[in-house]
Structure 1
């Protein structure tokens, strides 16, 4: 095999369609563009989603919802989650090792849900006002 003998496999290529070359070709006269209208003209072009001046679908429908960019970085845990932990000093790393929160999480907040009857010390974790009161009532601290 030499470089000058390389060619595509049999049936891999086909002749380019020649339009506007007479009635017998099947693509004479209008060259497969139909009759009149913007798309039949040379340079006839409109944007994706353009509906001929009618209000486009993406503008007719209401705007809805919002996903915060850093939403996956924060998490909430319950007092009952703290109750189940085997350690007394709780930080983000301890929660990750226990499998309470996911690995990408950086910010954790304790919410008032469930019961806490033992002493826990929070380090680098925030808490709601009710959760903080419940933790301090059980003899713990929030730092």
Structure 2
């Protein structure tokens, strides 16, 4: 036996049915679609249609909502921070902020900053500069001799809107400068 003689067992790989290729194929003429009507044509999307009856997805009640003003914080527990300090991944003498926690790999996401939660024990004296802190976490940090500075973080949507406004102002200023140059 040679490598070029190796084949699959007969019938192991079945080819796809090529519809609409003549009457001898068994699926010729209408190609298995029956005759006439919307479903015999291409580009049909009536999967949820129930003949005019109110469809199931509209009969069921709506549940919950998405709060468009919700803040997206990366939540980090005190226990996780203490583990990082014990493992020498996080410097206890330096200021701990969103960038430091992100570099250490505990603050995932959090477009609006990081929020410290009180789960776990904290023994190290640390100074934090974060967007939010729970009451229990603040008490635990201060008990260990640390300090917390809560900063006001601009929401991502407001940040984008402010950037858009500055770009618009810059474009308007460029336009005015071009008009003044054209007149002169």
The aligned counterpart of 1:114 is: 120
- For normalisation by structure 1, the TM-score amounts to 0.58
Counterparts of 2:146 and 2:66, CA distance in 1 = 35
Q: What do you get for the CA RMSD once the two structures are aligned? A: 3.6
Q: Which ranges of structure 1 fall in alignment gaps of 5 or more residues?
A: 1-13, 15-25, 40-45
Are 2:104 and 1:105 equivalent residues in the alignment? no
Counterparts of 1:112 and 1:62, CA distance in 2 = 38
Say if 2:122 and 2:141, in contact at 8 Å, map to a contact too.
Answer: yes
1:12-66 superposed Cα distances (whole Å, 9 cap, x missing partner): xx9xxxxxxxxxxx89xxx9237xxxx6xxxxxx966332232202112343455
Are 2:86 and 1:87 equivalent residues in the alignment? no
Say if 1:122 and 1:141, in contact at 8 Å, map to a contact too.
Answer: yes
Q: Which ranges of structure 2 fall in alignment gaps of 5 or more residues?
A: 1-19, 21-28, 39-44, 150-184
**Structure with greater proportional helix content:** 2
Are 2:126 and 1:126 equivalent residues in the alignment? no
- Of structures 1 and 2, the one with the larger relative CO (CA 8 A, separation 6+) is 1
The aligned counterpart of 1:57 is: 56
Counterparts of 1:101 and 1:75, CA distance in 2 = 5
Say if 2:115 and 2:130, in contact at 8 Å, map to a contact too.
Answer: no
Could you say if the C-alpha distance between residues 135 and 118 of structure 1 is closer, same or farther in structure 2, counting changes exceeding 3 Å?
same
The aligned counterpart of 1:33 is: 36
Larger radius of gyration: 1
- For normalisation by structure 2, the TM-score amounts to 0.47
Deviation at 1:82, TM superposition (A): 1.9
Instruction: Give the aligned length.
Output: 108
Q: What SS does the aligned partner of 1:122 have?
A: strand
